[in-house]
Structure 1
Amino acid sequence: MGVDYYNVLQVDRNASEDDLKKAYRKLAMKWHPDKNPNNKKDAEAKFKQISEAYEVSFFLFHSISVSKSSLFLINLLMLLQVLSDPQKKAVYDQYGEEGLKGNVPPPDAGGATYFSTGDGPTSFRFNPRSADDIFAEFFGFSRPFGGGGGGGTRFSSSMFGDNIFASFGEAGGGGGAMHHGGGARKAAPIENRLPCSLEDLYKGTTKKMKISREIADVSGKTMPVEEILTIDVKPGWKKGTRITFPEKGNEQPGVTPADLVFIIDEKPHPVFTREGNDLIVTQRISLAEALTGYTVNLTTLDGRRLTIPVTNVIHPEYEEVVPKEGMPLQKDQTKRGNLRIKFKIKFPTRLTSEQKTGVKKLLG
């Protein structure tokens, strides 16, 4: 009984040409030996089986779906393919068309595979091309993962995502984004500011960003789509922190989509400013309060009330430092910077004679 190639590709027998291509792409990427270094032997066998299943299923799809008026052209194309393959040509020269159908055993047929069209009992003998040849037909090269031997172009790790096939052309078309030798040109990153309040950066928050972009299907046609990107802002993030969504730019032939980059920007706060991991607040006090003592009352960025008595004499350069009431540290959110309280002293514009005498007497 022949191999169920549709089952190997995980598609049903009514699969379209596009379904077959998509299935092969997905499974070929999964089982390429260079991507399975710890299980290379089994992966190589699976990879060849998948490639063989694709070629057989693709042949069956066209053989079954074409009209009778097109059979001459199909047979001609098949004959050209046979004549371009030395082994198949030798079989054809020796046994004719019957040899290709398997009715006469061709030479070196030990590795050949049988499959049935489903239209009758006739079995055809099929000698597939190498798996790497089929892979190269799709992707422009046969060793995408940097494996030894062919010196093929490497993929960067960021390319193995949901949109890996978005910029590839049709099989054998040669118009995809990947080129022999140097790889596709990548578009410059698209940068956007992401304004965050100081409270957002103190406590952390989730931002949802709606984007519109052009994506391409396997035929190269583009269409607009909208996506929602989720950004988890972590406590302690600083202005300038970059969040990158790889290849979320527009897709176009011959170009790897641009990365979409959001850059944290800090909104001004009415009470606090930030210096590194420290929070700074400035209090305006009178000269009498500076000399006799002052109590600072503050609401923190997470809503707590702080009461901080200052008993020292406050001079213009004085700072009251409250440990661990600053921003969370980005690398260790169990730790915090300091709260630094600065003061602006309101000096009187004039003193009466009696006030001057009293100050001199007091400070004498």
Structure 2
Amino acid sequence: MGVDYYNILKVSRNANEEDLKKSYKRMAMKWHPDKNAVNTKEAEEKFKQISEAYDVLSDPRKRQIYDLYGEEGLNFGLHAPPSWKEKDFACGGGGRGFKFSQRDPEDIFAEFFGGLDGGKGKSSSGGGGGGGGRLRKAEAMEHMLPCTLEELYKGSRRKMMISRIVLDYSGKPSTVEEVLAINVKPGWKNGTKITFLEKGNHERGATPGDLIFVIDEKPHPIFKRDGNDLIMHQKISLLDALTGKNLSVKTIDGRELVVPISDIIKPGHEMVIQNEGMPISKEPGKNGNLRIKFDVRFPSRLTAEQKSDLRRILGRTTG
């Protein structure tokens, strides 16, 4: 018989009109090229086969000729059964024959999904399907994904429960829940978007929308992020600022750094420690810098003797 239209639509040979519609809706939504951006060529071929199968099997005349003569009977205009009236067929070859004219797959699709009128399967007039049945995309769903600075430094694997509306083959909506795994990459910044294609809500006459998670960086009690750099404020006494010391600093991942201070630290002084900032997501193995801003603590009071000593010592350096 050549092409098996019944097998293409996954229906039995005695399938009725409702069976054909249900199967076509389910398979056409699955294989429409707009829903298959990766395997577009394969989807286009499948979609064409599904449309052709439905076109033939849903038309009583085409289906009877196909059942009697197969695909060749449709393509080459074989004689119609005697019970059919001559006016139903185009004349050709000196006898009564049927001329098979294949419908545009997008036109068939538009009858089911394009410009649906209240969900009753009627297509609206004047191109209500949008571009001859071409599918629009449902609006994307956005969720904030709160992350600590530590998570964005080290990376983490998060699991999020999401709830969305889906449509079955008949267009009936229902709510489903699903757990999605999100791999937060080291160095991602506030506002970074993670997109799950077609994991959003379903709408009639549209491909499912996308689900988008947006990184929401939580404030940190010690570190502030500036691009790929980390900034921290460190208090230091006036004595240490003038005489120096070895400063112990804890990094964001819990390591202890010994930072030697040998120069005089002035108020507002900033020390830069290379490669101790945030990972640079687009340059694996590289980090920004840690910038330490010093707050010099001045004594609240000095005795007369202390003032005298300071004048004597500092006077020599400024003299």
Same topology, TM > 0.5: yes
Q: Which residue among 253, 262, 271 is the counterpart of 1:302?
A: 253
Percent of paired sites with the same residue: 48
> What is the CA distance between 1:216 and its match in structure 2?
1.6
Q: Is the 8 A contact 1:167 1:220 kept in 2?
A: no
Q: Which residue among 92, 95, 115 is the counterpart of 1:107?
A: 92
> What is the CA distance between 1:287 and its match in structure 2?
1.0
CA shift in 2, pair 1:101/1:196, >3 Å:
same
Q: Which amino acid aligns with 2:267?
A: P
The range that moved more, 183-192 or 202-211, is: 183-192
Q: How do 1:1-364 and structure 2 match up within 5 A?
A: 1=1, 3-9=3-9, 16-17=19-20, 18-23=22-27, 26=30, 29=33, 35-36=40-41, 50-58=50-58, 97=84, 107=92, 128-132=100-104, 134-139=105-110, 173-174=122-123, 178-180=129-131, 189-253=140-204, 258-364=209-315
> What is the CA distance between 1:311 and its match in structure 2?
1.3
TM-score by length of 1: 0.63
Q: Which amino acid aligns with 1:139?
A: A
CA distance in 2, matches of 1:361, 1:182: 91
Q: Is the 8 A contact 2:234 2:292 kept in 1?
A: yes
> What is the CA distance between 1:166 and its match in structure 2?
12
Q: Which amino acid aligns with 1:22?
A: R
CA distance in 2, matches of 1:227, 1:22: 21
TM-score by length of 2: 0.71
Q: Helix, strand or coil: the match of 1:281?
A: strand
Per-residue CA deviation, residues 153-207 of structure 1 (Å, 9 max, x unaligned), is xxxxxxxxxxxx8997989632798434696776654433221100111111122
Name stretches of at least 5 consecutive residues in structure 2 with no aligned partner: 65-75
Per-residue CA deviation, residues 28-86 of structure 1 (Å, 9 max, x unaligned), is 6499xx953xx9xxx77x776554433444568xx99xxxxxxxxxxxxxxxxxxxxxx
Q: Is the 8 A contact 2:246 2:258 kept in 1?
A: yes
CA shift in 2, pair 1:254/1:12, >3 Å:
closer
Q: Is the 8 A contact 1:167 1:255 kept in 2?
A: no
CA RMSD for the aligned pairs? Answer: 4.4
CA shift in 2, pair 1:260/1:20, >3 Å:
closer
> What is the CA distance between 1:327 and its match in structure 2?
0.7
CA distance in 1, matches of 2:82, 2:92: 10
CA distance in 2, matches of 1:326, 1:281: 11
CA distance in 2, matches of 1:187, 1:285: 57
CA distance in 2, matches of 1:2, 1:264: 54
Q: Helix, strand or coil: the match of 1:207?
A: strand
The range that moved more, 236-245 or 349-358, is: 236-245
> What is the CA distance between 1:254 and its match in structure 2?
5.1
CA shift in 2, pair 1:3/1:195, >3 Å:
closer
> What is the CA distance between 1:279 and its match in structure 2?
0.7
Q: Which amino acid aligns with 1:23?
A: M
Q: Is the 8 A contact 1:205 1:233 kept in 2?
A: yes
Residues matched between the structures, number = 288
Q: Helix, strand or coil: the match of 2:130?
A: coil
CA distance in 2, matches of 1:284, 1:49: 74
> What is the CA distance between 1:218 and its match in structure 2?
2.7
Per-residue CA deviation, residues 190-247 of structure 1 (Å, 9 max, x unaligned), is 4332211001111111222212222122322111111223322211111122233345
Q: Is the 8 A contact 2:111 2:122 kept in 1?
A: no
Q: Helix, strand or coil: the match of 1:200?
A: helix
CA distance in 1, matches of 2:203, 2:88: 43
The range that moved more, 324-333 or 19-28, is: 19-28
CA shift in 2, pair 1:184/1:8, >3 Å:
closer
CA distance in 1, matches of 2:98, 2:51: 13
